Structure 1
């Protein structure tokens, strides 16, 4: 378990992490999300004792990381896959880590096979691809068979098979009752892997809840409606007012946000607009995340293709 209480990190006048409090529970995969510069990496470094907090404290399995007598057996972390001696082989790198904790060579071989590095175990790490380096970093995190695993962008550089492997690995570790704390910018992968989400923005926690709760909490009713090609404007006119957004995707297809499918059907029937198709849509994790963090992004890009929308509000009858 990871427990942070009023955890802060100040760099000059900038609060990289601003009094955050959260608990990462065992037995589930907890995703850690946030825009660039939100404080994710700083928080993970403080968990691992690599940065000292300016305020508050954080413990792993009941103690600060530095106080564990055998830290590799308590927590394994992938924070920077490049933090290796490039002239060592993968085997020698892992064997030297294992030796500090009296971990047998048999465990080194286990994690090498587990991470798919068997064919390159005796090759110098300096010649590894990005994906192979990530696999070695994960092997290092698992070398002590730890109770808690922290992985920062573990699928970076991995091919589709590797991405799927990390997903199953995280779930398997959690199913064994371990604490799994995982950060990634790949929303589609996080949606498939995480059970719970902690979202940070500008150094503060802005969401801490099960993944479906985060999605539902940001979602407005969304549906796509297919009508006769000359009737989209009639349907939009029936939704006259403010609060509902209607976007024409194709001559016959309208996407409507802010009113549920049943109400759309009632209004279409009332105003004699023939509906060929009415499909309620589920908000994606990416959509929910973008809505949740829209005011927390420090570096924003311009959308090269602005979307034209039409606003309307359903007026009850």
Structure 2
């Protein structure tokens, strides 16, 4: 279990984490989400003692990380997959870590097989691809068979098979009663992996709830309606204060009313409808809704594919 109480981190006048309180419980996969600069990495670094809190406390399995006499058995962490001796082989990297905790060589071989590194175990880590580096980082985190696993962007650089493996691994470990805390910018993957979400923005917790609750809380009834008479049906529905968007030919997206009510309006006014499909809110939509006021770094929006290109790109266009 990970417990933060009024946890804060300041760098001079800048507040990276502003007095947050949360608990990451065992037996489930907890996802950690937030925009760039929100405080995710700083929080994870404080959990494992790489950054010292300016205020508050953070404990893992009842103690600050530095107080554990057997940290590899308590906490396995992947925060930076590149943090390896580049001239050392994957096998020797893991063997050196194992020696610090009297972990048997058999466990080194076990995590190498588990993470798919057997074919490259004797090769230098400095020559690894991004995906292989991630696998080595995960192997390092698993080495002590820890009670708590912290993974920062664990699927970064992995192929589809590797992504599926990480998903199943996280669920398997949570099923064993372990604490699994992971971050990812891949919303579709987080939606399939996490049971619970903690969302941070500008150093503050803005959501801490089961993923189903977060999806339901941001969800307004939406229905896709197909009809040849979009103008008339849209006008009829809008007259009752319903939001109607005409995004495609013969298609409306209606918010704030359910399929039965739309069908009733269409029937009463003799408008032929040939599709009524309830739409569910995706995690990506819920996330954007939660963090819309917490994004520090905004990218340029491209609303029109035919928009004038930026000056730096004009010279690259076909003539």
Alignment TM class, shorter chain as reference: over 0.9
Task: Give 3-state SS (helix, strand or coil) of 2:136's partner.
Answer: helix
Counterpart of 1:156?
A: 156
> What TM-score do you get using the length of structure 2 for normalisation?
0.93
Counterpart of 2:113?
A: 113
Task: Give 3-state SS (helix, strand or coil) of 2:245's partner.
Answer: strand
Distance 2:190 2:31 in 1: 7
Give 1:243 shift: 5.8
Q: Which moved more, 1:211-220 or 1:235-244?
A: 235-244
Distance 1:131 1:143 in 2: 18
Give 1:239 shift: 2.0
Counterpart of 2:316?
A: none
> What TM-score do you get using the length of structure 1 for normalisation?
0.94
Counterpart of 1:240?
A: 238
Distance 2:239 2:47 in 1: 50
Distance 1:300 1:256 in 2: 29
Distance 2:45 2:209 in 1: 23
Give 1:306 shift: 6.2
Distance 1:15 1:8 in 2: 8
1:254 aligned to 2:252?
A: yes
* Deviation string, structure 1 residues 5-64 (Cα, Å, up to 9, x no partner): 000011122211111100000000000000101100000000010000011000000000
Distance 2:219 2:33 in 1: 18
* Deviation string, structure 1 residues 107-138 (Cα, Å, up to 9, x no partner): 10000000000010000001000000000000
Distance 2:211 2:267 in 1: 36
Counterpart of 1:274?
A: 272
* Deviation string, structure 1 residues 208-261 (Cα, Å, up to 9, x no partner): 111010001011111100111xx1111111122586432223221111122222
Distance 1:186 1:57 in 2: 29
Counterpart of 1:69?
A: 69
CA separation of 1:81 and 1:69: change in aligned 2, threshold 3 A: same
Q: CA RMSD in A?
A: 1.3
Q: Which moved more, 1:244-253 or 1:234-243?
A: 234-243
Alignment of 1:157-236 (within 5 A): 157-228=157-228, 231-236=229-234
Alignment of 1:78-93 (within 5 A): 78-93=78-93
Q: Which moved more, 1:10-19 or 1:181-190?
A: 10-19
* Deviation string, structure 1 residues 166-223 (Cα, Å, up to 9, x no partner): 0000000000000000100000000110000000011110111110100010111111
1:96 aligned to 2:101?
A: no
Counterpart of 2:317?
A: none
Task: Give 3-state SS (helix, strand or coil) of 2:7's partner.
Answer: strand
Distance 1:237 1:5 in 2: 52
Contact between 2:17 and 2:202, CA under 8 Å: does it hold in 1?
yes
Contact between 2:238 and 2:244, CA under 8 Å: does it hold in 1?
no
Counterpart of 1:292?
A: 290
Q: Which moved more, 1:180-189 or 1:250-259?
A: 250-259
Q: Which moved more, 1:155-164 or 1:288-297?
A: 288-297
Distance 1:36 1:292 in 2: 14
Task: Give 3-state SS (helix, strand or coil) of 1:85's partner.
Answer: coil
Task: Give 3-state SS (helix, strand or coil) of 2:238's partner.
Answer: coil
Counterpart of 1:53?
A: 53
* Deviation string, structure 1 residues 47-92 (Cα, Å, up to 9, x no partner): 0100000110000000000000000000000000000000000000
Give 1:269 shift: 2.2
Task: Give 3-state SS (helix, strand or coil) of 1:198's partner.
Answer: strand
